Structure 1
Amino acid sequence: MRNIMINSCPICGLGYIGTAVILENEKIRINCERCGSFEIAKEYETLKERPWSEVRHLVSAWIKRENKAKIMYPDPTHGAGFGNVNSPEWWATQYQYLGFPETTSEKLNALLVAYGDYTKGDYNADVKPAYSIVSEIGAKDIEEVSGLSGLLVQAGYLAPSKRSGDTFYKIGVQGWLRIEELKKAKISSNLVFVAMWFSDITLNYRNTVVAAVEYCGYKPIIVDQQEYNDFIMNQVVSLIKQSRFLIADFTSRPEFEKDGYVKNGVRGGVYWEAGMAYGLGKTVIHTCEDNLDSRNRIHFDVGQYNTIFWKEEELKTEIRPLDQSTSNPNFTEKLVARILATIGKGG
């Protein structure tokens, strides 16, 4: 390893980084006040035209989220070849739909909660716009955080502090009540997102999952039953963010080619949606059809999780009283038991 001097963060552009470390694998390890700690291949750092420019605030937010998850030096280009990482489209695809705040209301809520977390429960503590907060809420720059802080003042959640120097705020009574409300809403949603393969093969599965979810007091959300006005992936992200937990079914079938397209196979969308839910800190219940075609195609990492396997003959909408001993529960009863044990009864 050896040290080098860099003038600015290659991701967010923040200056005065100072010393960075070049590792033996020729990656640069950087500690940025805004992004956090990360590493990136040296050739990417030296690109004149950085293809992540349009989504750099989202990449920065992703690094911060990884750090909070105790991943201290994530690589934002992980898994990408050099050709891919030079493409702005690749960066947009990777980082545009990761559940970071998008609307003004989402950003205001996220900023208020971030300020509350910053105080660590000290009601007398001052808060201020800071570079670390920028990536915390996925803001584009510190000016946006300052503007949002002003809106929180207008809404009555913050009040200017009497502290001299930089602009400081105190969280008011209404602000603390709003923070409590937001944190409660985050865990009290009655929506359940169901990630699954939409096929005649899984029609009975869908019906039994709906029965189980509704029995437990929740509302199932199945994407192909929704009406969308916007791009579907925006809606998927929004629905996952609103959901209390997610049920992911990893059923698959052997691949075959038809009209130049590969049919069946592993359902990439299910993996993507489950990963999104995990990234948002939500519980994911795994299910899968109990046959070799499906079992052999479950990715090794996913296979480590406790999965409820089902057979077609177990897909019953009948749910017997759970306080009665059942020696041979059907799939729906197993799913109900898992929901109640891990999440609890819905409202």
Structure 2
Amino acid sequence: MEQCPICLNKCKSNMWSRDRKYLDCPQCGKYTADAKIEMLIGRRRLTQRQKANISGWLAENEGYEITSENLDNFLIKLKLPSFIDRADSLLCHIAARSDFAGASIQFDKSFISRAWCVNEEELQAVTDYLITTKRIFVIIESQIWLNKYKVLANGWIRLEELSKTNSKSSQGFVAMCFSDDLKSLYEEAIAPAISDAGYLPHKVDLREHNDKIDDEIIAQIRRSKFVVADFTRHRGGVYFEAGFAKGLGLEVFWLCEKDDLKNLHFDIRQYYFIEWTNDNKEELKRRLTLRIEGLFGKGPEKS
């Protein structure tokens, strides 16, 4: 056992190669990192909030690989979600771990990360809100790790509301690397596929948005019916946007350039990917249109 460099809890660790290791932390979850991750974290003198945000992100994106590059360009710049979003995230986590409605589950360290909290005291503020709104019931013991949590009827109703938030939306959000050489992918395949299915494609393509998560992106994902995510070049922002959409219960359509599939983070390889090459964009468009229509039917914008 060694110490997690993010939350400082004891965790399991194995070297995958000379320069990369695998960590299994009770709070941050399972992730991989540069073998010198402790030194990388130590040099940056991260605040408690930055570490809590990274822990929350890792917990929601199992298998993520921390590198020096994405640590500087993405992870340390993560914004704290709204209080309501954090409460909803914790509620979803408790519900997902419950075998059935009415079941109680015992506290564990993952509650702290799922609510993007710095410590147990901040977690208490989030759970107090869920208790006050009658979404959960907590059997409080002498020590927090003995507490038991149960989702109440109001909590299940809230979860149903979250799953229906975007049922009337006609927008499809596109998450991808918007470098110049990938513009044709959007213009010739992704956007036409969404339009042909009867929905409105939406992208945030300003260059500074690559690997940057801001309020506009979060708001647009919330307004969308689904997300089309192309992982070619493996931008950290695309991983975040797809993970955030999954957390909201939105459908994600997974794309990647054929030769880049081998570089996907292992935690998302379980999903069905539509692969593409530069000479088969028309086939990509056709397959993506069929996938969208197959799940949602023809959209309201279909001519």
Under a length normalisation based on structure 2, what TM-score does the superposition of the two structures give?
0.65
What displacement does 1:152 show?
A: 1.3
Counterpart for residue 221 of structure 2 = 240
Cα distance per residue 1:148-188 (max 9 Å; x no partner): 01011222222343x64444443222111112222343777
Offset from partner CA, 1:231-269 (integer Å, 9 cap, x none): 87442244235533334689xxxxxxxxxxxxxxxx96x
Question: Secondary structure of the residue that 1:34 maps to in structure 2?
Answer: coil
Counterpart position of 2:56: 61
**C-alpha separation in 1, matches of 2:222 and 2:44:** 28
Q: Which of 70, 81, 86 does residue 102 from structure 1 map onto?
A: 81
- Structure ID, larger Rg: 1
Going from structure 1 to structure 2, the CA distance change for 1:240 and 1:202 (only over 3 Å counts) comes to same
What secondary structure sits across from 1:148 in the alignment?
A: helix
Partner amino acid for 1:109? D
Secondary structure in 2 matching 1:305: strand
Q: Distance in 2 between matches of 1:154 and 1:222?
A: 38
Residue-by-residue CA offset, 1:50-89 (whole Å, 9 max, x unaligned): 426232223323433444xxx4xx5423xx3xxx6xxxxx
Distance 1:133-1:232 versus aligned 2 partners, 3 A rule:
closer
For 1:339, the equivalent position in structure 2 comes to 292
Q: 1:183 aligns to what SS in structure 2?
A: helix
Match of 2:95 in 1: 116
Q: CA deviation at 1:35?
A: 1.7
Q: Which residue of 2 aligns with 1:194?
A: 174
Q: For 2:161 and 2:274, how far apart are their aligned partners in 1?
A: 32
Indicate how the Cα distance of structure 1 residues 332 and 113 shifts in structure 2: closer, same or farther if over 3 A, else same.
Answer: closer
Greater fraction of residues in helix: 2
Change (3 A) 1:159 1:178: same
Q: Secondary structure at the match of 1:138?
A: coil
Question: Which residue of structure 1 aligns with residue 135 of structure 2?
Answer: 157
SS at match of 1:341: helix
8 Å Cα contact 2:94/2:105 also seen in 1? no
Between the aligned partners of 2:214 and 2:261, the Cα distance in structure 1 is 26
Residue identity in the other structure for 1:157:
R
Distance 2:285 2:35 in 1: 52
Aligned Cα RMSD in Å?
Answer: 4.8
Q: Encode CA deviations 1:295-318: one digit per residue, 9 max, x unaligned.
A: 9xx746599734497899x9xxxx
Show the counterpart of 1:305: 274
Unpaired runs of 5+ residues, structure 1, are 85-89, 226-230, 251-266, 289-294, 315-329
SS of 2:165 mapped into structure 1: helix
Instruction: Tell me whether 1:132 sits opposite 2:85 in the alignment.
Output: no
The unaligned stretches of length 5 or more in structure 2 are 207-211, 265-272
Aligned sequence identity (%): 21
Greater RCO (Cα-Cα under 8 Å, separation 6 or more): 2
State whether structure 2 residue 15 is matched by structure 1 residue 25: no
Q: Indicate if the aligned counterparts of 2:172 and 2:228 stay in contact, CA closer than 8 A.
A: yes
SS in 2 for 1:339: helix
TM-score, normalising length from structure 1? 0.58
